[in-house]
Amino acid sequence: MALVRVRYAPSPTGSLHVGNARTALFNWLFARRHGGRFVVRFEDTDTERAGEEAARAIIVALRWLGLTWDEGPEVGGPYGPYFQSMRLDLYRRYAERLLLQERAYECYCTPEELEARRRRAQAGRRPFRYEGTCRHLTDAERAACRRQGRRPALRLMVPDTGTVEVHDRIKGTVSFDNAVLDDFVIMKSDGWPTYNFACVVDDHEMRISHVIRAEEHLSNTPKQLHVYRALEAEPPEFAHLPMVLAPDRSKLSKRHGATAVEEYRQMGILPQALLNYLLLLGWSYDGTTEIISLEEASRIFDLDRVNRTNAVFDEDKLLWMNHQYIKTARLHRLARLVVPRLAEAGVLPDMITLGEFRRLRRILALIQERMHTLNEAPALIGYFFGDDVEYDPAAVARRLAGPEVPDILERAADNLAAAGDWKPDVVEQVIRDTAASLGVKAAQVIHPVRVAVTGVMVGPGLFDVLHLVGRERTIRRLRRAAARLRAGELVATVAAGPTDGPGSP
């Protein structure tokens, strides 16, 4: 195979959509797999909507995902610039050549005239197709139009018989009747190229060998093939990816919730997890293997295992995938990821000491397998920090409501204060001894102590929790909770609160 050169060519009209991220990923992987080059360029000829800000957002998102490009914005390359709006001269040169070679012609029909014809066709239940009105204008007629102040668009001459065949790596051979095509516009009267023209000129100029893009472009491909033909250029290979859809099988849009890579970043999704999830949307390795790193994927990915059916974006599975990556993340890395979110939640200061960082790592070891997204971190580990805890009313009602609870808590506090080394197994022994001396089951001590110290009913094993919460903090919270219970504070809160549990003994 000749040098593989692929491109991701987004239109900068918003943030990076997850469907587009998958397209970028497949291109990136294909380039890696075949030792090729991955090019990024912005198709910003739709001046109304395209924006610099959007381009920036897309660049940031691609960087965050780790989909680096060999040529493109910010990195440059031999075929730049990589914004179509900066390549207008090029399109004009190509267009002029086609005009000279009489493969394209000037069209002076105004939008109003075309619209009228379109309506007439619709009324007659006929598909609208530009009939080549201006194909055979004489020089004099053209001059007359220009004198009226009309500016021409440029149309490509398309044969009206025969077929064009798209040889697609994924769809197979797809053929289109030329009869359904018309002499489409390649340069608009305002001097800007149309999508199908600029795209082909760029792919040709940039020596793109494989065009891997979403299926929505399949219907554009016959037109593009006509442009290649007119340019006497060799078309690249095409591969049209199935679409990524919303749960209701419509196009994934804002009303379905998060659609942008950036939103998933904010939700606490890891880039590796998002990439892995996206990889499985339309591609599979053996039908069984699911956890595949980018590195691994870049060795085994290929187009022949891309399927042809549209896929629904399933957030539940993404969350599961994220959990897989969080579970197995190295603690050091996880800690670094989580610090900003803890700071934001006010659990930790922005800057923490090395000692605190180390303690955080040990805390994370306890909860990493129950964390599905990074932003669950504050709720999961907030109680390891600070003086006081917030009590979940339901937890208080369920575990602290009994009349014997204050005694149990104080007894536990006393015994823990007198304990030897503050280690998990020592803590465990003390708690079990406390239960024994009180003549109750261990669970009757464990549950109230957990709620008194952490404020919630759920969490890792209690002895590990107490160990890392720390002796002083543990004892302080136990005594304080006992006192507040005696004063009727905590229970009163519950009685007045909306969540009144059964209040078990």
Partner RNA sequence: GGCCCAAUAGUCUAGAGGCCUAGGACGCCGCCCUCUCAAGGCGGUAGCACGGGUUCGAAUCCCGUUUGGGCCA
For RNA, the binding residues (CB under 7 A) are 118, 121-122, 125, 127-128, 171-172, 174-177, 180, 215-220, 242-243, 245, 247, 249-251, 280-282, 284, 286-288, 290, 305, 307-312, 314, 316-317, 319-320, 323, 327, 369-370, 442-443, 446-447, 450, 457-464
Q: In terms of CB distance, is 59 or 445 closer to RNA?
A: 445
Residue 441 among the catalytic residues? no
Strands 172-177 and 163-168: antiparallel
Distance, CA of 8 to CA of 217 (rounded, Å): 13
For the bound state, the minimum distance from the C-beta of residue 367 to RNA, rounded and expressed in Å, comes to: 8
Q: In terms of CB distance, is 172 or 498 closer to RNA?
A: 172
Q: Is 176 in a helix, a strand, or coil?
A: strand
Catalytic-labelled residue, pool 171, 251, 254, 423:
254
For the bound state, the minimum distance from the C-beta of residue 207 to RNA, rounded and expressed in Å, comes to: 26
For the bound state, the minimum distance from the C-beta of residue 140 to RNA, rounded and expressed in Å, comes to: 30
Half-sphere exposure of 89 (CA within 13 A, CB side): 3
Residues 6 or more apart whose CB falls under 8 angstroms from that of 422 comprise 467, 470, 471
Q: In terms of CB distance, is 63 or 308 closer to RNA?
A: 308
Distance, CA of 288 to CA of 465 (rounded, Å): 37
Tokens at residue 22, please?
């998958």
H/E segment holding residue 30: helix 18-33
Q: In terms of CB distance, is 47 or 175 closer to RNA?
A: 175
CB contact at 8 A, 287 and 77:
no
For the bound state, the minimum distance from the C-beta of residue 145 to RNA, rounded and expressed in Å, comes to: 22
CB contact at 8 A, 52 and 18:
no
For the bound state, the minimum distance from the C-beta of residue 451 to RNA, rounded and expressed in Å, comes to: 10
For the bound state, the minimum distance from the C-beta of residue 174 to RNA, rounded and expressed in Å, comes to: 4
Distance, CA of 7 to CA of 41 (rounded, Å): 7
The full length of the chain comes to: 505
Half-sphere exposure of 332 (CA within 13 A, CB side): 1
Q: In terms of CB distance, is 220 or 298 closer to RNA?
A: 220
Q: In terms of CB distance, is 161 or 309 closer to RNA?
A: 309
Of 56, 60, 54, 59, which Cα lies nearest the Cα of 14? Answer: 54
DSSP H stretches of helix in 329-404: 331-344, 354-367, 377-381, 393-399
Q: Which residues are catalytic?
A: 254
